[in-house]
């Protein structure tokens, strides 16, 4: 039962770590996040605007070789009709040729999506290639902040023990700011020695024997 409890607590802490990592990435990279959100938004709306549809009455249609020739009504011409030639068979519904114009808003949103995505990918890629956190996502700093959020302090015999995931990160005779303690990442925590204060050991023993 105690083992299951420890697994549960560890899972909760890992979720806390991931959430804090995501939060740190967001707050450390507001411009990149803005580009990412804008890119996703434009992708969502691109192609969603309805195309304009125009119906043109067809007087006759013939196939001439590989071409399709349509005689359609056109009141703007002197004789009232026009000839339309296409290399493919056009869609005709109820005697009318259906002419669809791609909505300009769809074109605009596709262009914006392309520009925003290119800027986002290029800046991230350049930062990774040059190992420059200022251009990239500041992953190392974000991992450090997320790891520091797991720290907790136990005071015993006048000594402050700073621990995370059951491992000793640092001890001090004075109280420290957790965010000034060197705790670089989750891997760094796992390399630290396992540790329990005497109080923790006593409480664990009492839990085992059911007291």
Taking the C-alpha atoms of residue 128 and residue 136, their distance in angstroms, rounded to an integer, is 6
Note whether 35 and 106 are same-domain residues: yes
Note whether 43 and 110 are same-domain residues: yes
**Beta strands 159-164 and 52-64, pairing class:** unpaired
Spatial strand order in the sheet of 52-64: 81-86, 67-73, 52-64, 96-101, 92-93
**How many domains does the chain divide into?**
3
> What mean pLDDT, rounded, does the chain reach?
83
Last residue of a domain, one of 136, 160, 179: 136
Residue 26 parent element (H or E): helix 2-28
At 2-27, the pLDDT tens digits run 567 667 777 888 898 999 999 998 88
Note whether 42 and 59 are same-domain residues: no
At 55-89, the pLDDT tens digits run 888 888 888 888 888 887 887 777 788 887 887 87
Q: What is the domain extent for residue 195? A: 1-29+139-211
CA dihedral 97, 101, 102, 103 (to 10 degrees): -130
For residues 163 and 136, the answer to whether their CB atoms sit within 8 Å is: no
Note whether 120 and 187 are same-domain residues: no
Taking the C-alpha atoms of residue 55 and residue 94, their distance in angstroms, rounded to an integer, is 10
pTM of the model: 0.61
Taking the C-alpha atoms of residue 46 and residue 203, their distance in angstroms, rounded to an integer, is 60
């Amino acid at each position: 039962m105690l083992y299951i409890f420890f697994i549960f607590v560890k899972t909760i802490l890992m979720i806390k770590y991931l959430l804090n990592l995501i939060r740190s990435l967001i707050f450390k990279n507001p411009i990149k996040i803005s580009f990412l959100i804008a890119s996703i938004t434009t992708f969502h709306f691109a192609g969603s605007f309805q195309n304009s549809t125009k119906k043109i009455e067809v007087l006759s249609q013939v196939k001439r070789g590989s071409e399709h020739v349509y005689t359609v009504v056109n009141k703007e011409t002197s004789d009232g009709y026009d000839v339309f030639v296409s290399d493919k068979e056009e869609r005709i519904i109820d005697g009318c040729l259906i002419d669809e114009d791609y909505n300009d808003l769809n074109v605009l949103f596709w262009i914006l999506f392309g520009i925003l995505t290119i800027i986002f990918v290029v800046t991230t890629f350049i930062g990774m290639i040059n190992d420059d956190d200022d251009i990239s996502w500041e992953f190392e700093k974000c991992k450090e902040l997320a790891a520091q959020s797991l720290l907790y302090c136990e005071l015993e015999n006048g000594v402050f023990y700073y621990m995370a995931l059951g491992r000793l990160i640092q001890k001090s005779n004075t109280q420290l700011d957790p965010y000034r303690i060197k705790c670089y990442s989750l891997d760094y925590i796992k390399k630290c020695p396992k540790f329990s204060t005497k109080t923790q050991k006593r409480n664990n023993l009492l839990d085992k024997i059911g007291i």
